[in-house]
Amino acid sequence: LLHSLGLLGLGVLLGTSSGFITGLAIGWSQRIGYWVHPVLRLLGPVPSTALLPLCLFIFPSSFGASVFLIALSTWFPVTVLTWSGVMGIDKAWYDVARTLGASQRFLILRVAIPAALPNVFVGLFMGLGASFSVLIVAEMVGVKSGIGFYLQWAQGWAAYPNMYAALLVMALLCSG
């Protein structure tokens, strides 16, 4: 259980931070949005678990591949909803801040980020739900400990009460 939580924590931390930065950059700069938006359109519909064979080929360890897949499953919703939050801010707020002498940095840190936080938290919530399912699949394939590994082990040994107990633990962890 601790291994699963550590893997999940690292993946969610990387995915959330990179998703927040990417979403903020896309929402703030039209030039960055022009180049990153097609990548989002390409990667968005692809489930993270579909990239598992490719990640196991690219990354030297199954731990690195698992962290990447969890981060990717968290990155997409956080990016899209942060971008949506920044784009949805009323332009009058920026005009008022500029009239009072606000710098570009002030506009980002004190206007854009606080106004976009509700969307950011919705993206974090959605990403966390997706990352739990990716965690289980990633642990079933390559990692030698954790809930996913235990589920596969219990199924292989026909220890169905143990398997359903692990599913119950997973459901309790995922329900928030």
**CA 72, CA 36: separation in Å to the nearest integer?**
15
153-175 mean pLDDT = 80
53 lies in which domain range?
2-143
Q: Is residue 137 part of a domain?
A: yes
Is 46 or 14 the better-scoring residue by pLDDT? 14
Q: Is residue 170 part of a domain?
A: no
- pLDDT by residue (tens digit) across 30-51? 999 999 989 888 888 888 888 8
Number of domains in the chain: 1
Whole-model pTM: value is 0.84
- pLDDT by residue (tens digit) across 61-95? 888 888 999 999 999 999 999 999 999 999 999 99
pLDDT-derived band at 54, boundaries 50, 70, 90: confident
Q: Is residue 174 part of a domain?
A: no
CATH number at residue 14: 1.10.3720.10
Q: Which residue bears the tokens 């009058």?
A: 92
Q: Is residue 160 part of a domain?
A: no
Q: Are 134 and 49 in contact (CB under 8 A)?
A: yes
